[in-house]
């Protein structure tokens, strides 16, 4: 089976950089995705790592290391609108996505 | 391009009733999957349909069922509702199964069971 772990909460100030970690125990997967969900909203896709290494998309970057069973989402130049829940998810060989429990990010002024 | 549309957005049912939720995927998307989101369990996979066939199923009781129509629209049904079925039910579509890690989610149907 697949299981993922994330910190439940992270707090940072506007303009700062924050890293949200995701560790996993899986039997294998295609890649690691990250989603953002604002309260009352739909999860929206942020980033995907099919291969080990760093992927950069604007202020957001994501990293994957399969050898360490570890990934992270890096958010730079934090803005108030980044306050949301962030989920990592593994693509279980196209069968389904297994999501982590989510990390609630609070950005303070 | 219109996004994923789910109806109804909110509904209240009582124990023992049944409910049907609807999902219209993004035009051209053939894969539709359903997830249950609760504060305690996070997002849990229910099932996935592709070209009217259920290809994968999560670990939920048989009271949870679904189907997909020829136009890729999907419905899920929950029979004999229990209090624990109160949750946000999210539908997600993608062009094909597991498309580069990206799912397109609807805003969900929030079910409250009294």
pLDDT truncated to tens, each residue of chain A (109 aa)?
A: 779 999 999 999 999 999 999 999 987 888 999 999 999 899 999 999 999 999 998 999 999 999 999 999 999 999 999 999 999 999 887 778 899 999 999 999 9
Q: Please give the pLDDT value at position B99.
A: 61
CA A100 – CA A85 distance, rounded (Å): 11
Q: Mind listing the pLDDT tens digit for each residue in B23-36?
A: 999 999 999 999 99
Q: Please give the pLDDT value at position B97.
A: 59
Q: Cβ of B9: how many Cβ atoms within 10 Å?
A: 11
CA B67 – CA B48 distance, rounded (Å): 9
Chain A residues with CB under 8 Å of B58 CB are 96
Q: Which pairing describes strands B10-13 and B109-113: parallel, antiparallel, or unpaired?
A: parallel
C-alpha distance across the termini of chain A, in Å: 41
Contact A95 B97 (CB under 8 A): yes
Chain A residues with CB under 8 Å of B100 CB are 31, 48, 50
* Contact A70/B at CB under 8 A: no
């Amino acid at each position: 089976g697949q299981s993922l772990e994330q910190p439940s909460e992270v707090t940072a100030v506007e303009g700062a950089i924050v890293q949200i970690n995701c560790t996993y125990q899986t039997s294998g997967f295609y890649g690691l995705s990250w989603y953002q969900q604002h309260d009352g909203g739909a999860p929206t896709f942020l980033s995907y790592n099919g291969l080990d290494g760093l992927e950069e998309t604007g202020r957001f970057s994501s990293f994957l290391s399969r050898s360490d069973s570890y990934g992270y989402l890096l958010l730079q130049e934090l803005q108030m609108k980044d306050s949301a829940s962030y989920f990592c998810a593994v693509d279980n060989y196209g069968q389904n996505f297994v999501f982590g429990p989510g990390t609630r990010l609070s950005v303070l002024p | 391009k219109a996004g994923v549309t789910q109806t109804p957005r909110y509904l209240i049912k009582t124990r023992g009733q049944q409910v049907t939720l609807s999902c219209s995927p993004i035009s051209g998307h053939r894969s539709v999957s359903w997830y249950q989101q609760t504060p305690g369990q996070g997002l849990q996979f229910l099932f996935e349909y592709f070209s009217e066939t259920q290809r994968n199923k999560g670990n939920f009781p048989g009271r949870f069922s679904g189907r997909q129509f020829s136009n890729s629209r999907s419905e899920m049904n929950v029979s004999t509702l229990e209090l624990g079925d109160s949750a946000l039910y999210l539908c997600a579509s993608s062009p094909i199964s597991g498309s580069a890690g990206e799912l397109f989610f609807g805003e969900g149907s929030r079910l409250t069971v009294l």
